[in-house]
Structure 1
Amino acid sequence: MSREPSFHDLAPSGARVLWVASSGGHLTELTRIARTTSADEQSDWVTFDTPQTRGALQGQRCHFVDYIAPRDLRRAVKASSWAIRHLRREKYDVCISTGAALAVSVLPVAAAYGCNAIYVESISRVDGPSLTGRILRATPRVRTYTQHAAWSSSSWKWSGSILDGWVAEPRARAKRSRRVFVTLGTIQPYRFDRIVDAVLSVIEPGDEVVWQLGSTVRADLPGKVLREVSQDEFRRLAAESDVTVTHAGVGSILELLDLGLVPVLAVRSSGFDEHVDDHQRQIADEMVRRGLAFELDLEAPSGETFERACSFEALAVGANDHRRSGTSAGHNTFRGE
């Protein structure tokens, strides 16, 4: 039986929290953890300045630092210097982060200044901690948590998983041409041409396609092509689609589950220079195991994967209203209005 994660215990009621996360899936996870707490309204957020972060944190107290690419030591040190200056001026009860590089820059500084420093490993790390997690586990006065009971220990406490909040159920779909939304995320500088080629091989005549490509630049695509989209636009495009195909990034996955969508996942591989490592394989396998996603085989893609995804929806555990959220009236990109 699934249960709701109990992250609310990480921040005592009324605590002033410094929430720290890189953009993308790390921030998406952290915002969901924050919702379970009763932190002080004067709590602050530290992240990168992107359309996604501005949309997700609208109305919150935010501090933006320069983007830190994977293994970017120079900018990581620069962010640490910012943290030192900031924590000399501001006082917090707790500093909580879900990664990635930004966690290594800020959490040790927060711990040194007397904050209760907490690192929650990403749900994408099914088999064990990331490099960030291993570094922070060895950092004095930083407490570490996992979202997977299988590798919890006295060093890595388990408080449940964000994924415990959904189940998948069959749904009916009207027979018509499909609306397909393909999203590759925004991680730089990694291209992901294999997902584009796989989708091109299985879309059918009459399918309406919208592509969000990030760092993957292509001039051979049918439909509408976008480089980046805001969080609101992402949610609208996904909610209007019959099937959403996404790289196996945690941020995209959680947004789609929120919308009631069971996504089609394509896994980035470090062997094809599509990511810094192969952690997307872990989260994709976990999503498929839970029945919350289908995987598109990039070596032998099949249109049947799209049809299966169209036939299921994700339901919030214990929710009374299972209808999709995030749709907006008016302009419809798939209709070209």
Structure 2
Amino acid sequence: MTTLLVAATGGHLAQLYQLRPRLVVPGSPVVWVTFDSPQSRSMLEQEVVEFVPYTPPRGYWSVVTNTFRAIRILRRYRVRRVISTGSGIALAFLPIARAMGRDAHYIESAARSDGPSTTGRMLQRFPGIKLSAQYSSWAKPPWNLNVSVFDDFQAVQRAEPRGDVRSVVVTLGTIEGYGFRSLLERLVEIIPEGVEVLWQTGVTDVSGLALTARPSMPQHELQAAIATSDAVVAHAGIGSALGSLNAGRRPVLVPRRSSRGEHVDDHQLQIAKELDGRDLSISREVDELMWADIEEAARWHVSRSSVTQ
């Protein structure tokens, strides 16, 4: 039985990749559907992948056009089950999968700690789609609680703290159409001279800033840089958070704000609050961020259970 794993790039793909061992029997056939990016090409290098056009936030016309691709992919691979962590790409695949008699399962993003996203609320209207939350606080019918990407991690303070912070990775993810210049400006202001910084900046405009930007990076390269760094500062996106945690780092997470045009809404505040409450990150707003926060994050190590490895 072929399982189709469907996710947008960024945090949605990172979550589904991590949850795969809990969702699919090892050795059974899997086909991935996602967008074409350095992250997806690196992460899924050894997998069967169908790339589809990017679906932006609230990009409903893209959902319609990808629905026709969904029909072809479902038939081509004789898919019996479709699992998605969203976002909008799930609307193109899960309803049509149910209409064609396939099993369909939607797992709401761990970014949503207080209720389902717009995508989740829309999928509630389609009978037969299995719905999963990642938080017990709102896992009420029709939503069930059976997976959470954060349950695998634990942060512990280092017995012998690192010395001075010499290297920092700054990662803003790869979301299209939304920059996060306010965070870069703050970091340029507070990071001392002599600290080595890798700046992964996405689409953010960096003109006039004293930094060398890398808009995107292969997943393995970014992970290796995080694992060898002293500290990580990231936008509070699921992908960046998971990347930091999987590399053993307790990140400083700074949420994008819709009022500054940095995202479509303020859901990153939920991610930052949840991980801060679990002691898995340090959460700060842009104007609150201090160098001392980055130094504090470097004093911790994050371990991961073997459940999903």
Q: Which interval holds the TM-score relative to the shorter structure?
A: over 0.9
Matched, 1:89 2:67: no
Q: Read off the aligned partner of 1:214 and give its amino acid letter.
A: G
Matched, 1:210 2:233: no
Runs of 4+ in 1 over 2 A off after TM superposition: 39-42, 85-90, 172-177, 219-224
Q: CA deviation at 1:303?
A: 1.4
CA distance 1:318–1:185, shift in 2 (3 Å): closer
Q: 2 CA distance for matches of 1:288 and 1:32? A: 21
Q: 1 CA distance for matches of 2:31 and 2:191? A: 44
Report if aligned partners of 2:253, 2:272 keep a CA contact under 8 Å in 1: yes
Report if aligned partners of 1:177, 1:208 keep a CA contact under 8 Å in 2: no
Question: Which string of whole-angstrom CA distances, capped at 9 and with x for unpartnered residues, describes residues 76-123 of structure 1?
Answer: 111011112222333222110000010011111111111110000011
Report if aligned partners of 1:19, 1:96 keep a CA contact under 8 Å in 2: yes
1:162 pairs with one of 146, 149, 165: 149
Q: CA deviation at 1:234?
A: 0.7
- Secondary structure, counterpart of 1:151 in structure 2: coil
1:67 pairs with one of 35, 54, 57: 54
Q: CA deviation at 1:200?
A: 1.6
Gaps of 5+ in 2: none
TM-score (norm 1): 0.87
Q: 2 CA distance for matches of 1:166 and 1:300? A: 26
Report if aligned partners of 2:132, 2:147 keep a CA contact under 8 Å in 1: no
Q: Read off the aligned partner of 1:204 and give its amino acid letter.
A: P
Q: CA deviation at 1:139?
A: 1.1
Please name the residue that 1:304 is paired with.
292
Please name the residue that 1:6 is paired with.
none
Please name the residue that 1:111 is paired with.
98
- Secondary structure, counterpart of 2:271 in structure 1: helix
Q: CA deviation at 1:154?
A: 2.3
Matched, 1:148 2:135: yes
Please name the residue that 1:233 is paired with.
221
Q: CA deviation at 1:39?
A: 5.1
Q: Read off the aligned partner of 1:46 and give its amino acid letter.
A: V
- Secondary structure, counterpart of 2:286 in structure 1: coil
Matched, 1:47 2:34: yes
Report if aligned partners of 1:209, 1:222 keep a CA contact under 8 Å in 2: no
- Secondary structure, counterpart of 1:291 in structure 2: coil
Report if aligned partners of 1:268, 1:278 keep a CA contact under 8 Å in 2: yes
Please name the residue that 2:3 is paired with.
17
CA distance 1:269–1:223, shift in 2 (3 Å): closer
Q: Read off the aligned partner of 2:36 and give its amino acid letter.
A: D
Please name the residue that 2:257 is paired with.
269
Identity between Structure 1 and Structure 2 (%): 37
Q: 1 CA distance for matches of 2:228 and 2:72? A: 45
- Secondary structure, counterpart of 1:97 in structure 2: strand
- Secondary structure, counterpart of 1:185 in structure 2: coil
2:267 pairs with one of 265, 279, 285: 279
1:76 pairs with one of 43, 63, 69: 63
- Secondary structure, counterpart of 2:288 in structure 1: coil
Q: 1 CA distance for matches of 2:83 and 2:302? A: 28
- Secondary structure, counterpart of 1:93 in structure 2: strand
Matched, 1:243 2:236: no
Report if aligned partners of 1:177, 1:206 keep a CA contact under 8 Å in 2: no
Please name the residue that 1:314 is paired with.
302
Q: What is the RMSD of the two structures over their aligned residues, measured on CA atoms?
A: 1.5
Residues paired across the two proteins, number = 305
Q: CA deviation at 1:189?
A: 0.6
Q: CA deviation at 1:147?
A: 0.6
CA distance 1:226–1:89, shift in 2 (3 Å): closer
Please name the residue that 1:5 is paired with.
none
Q: 1 CA distance for matches of 2:230 and 2:76? A: 49
Q: CA deviation at 1:30?
A: 0.6
Q: Read off the aligned partner of 1:302 and give its amino acid letter.
A: M
Q: CA deviation at 1:207?
A: 1.2
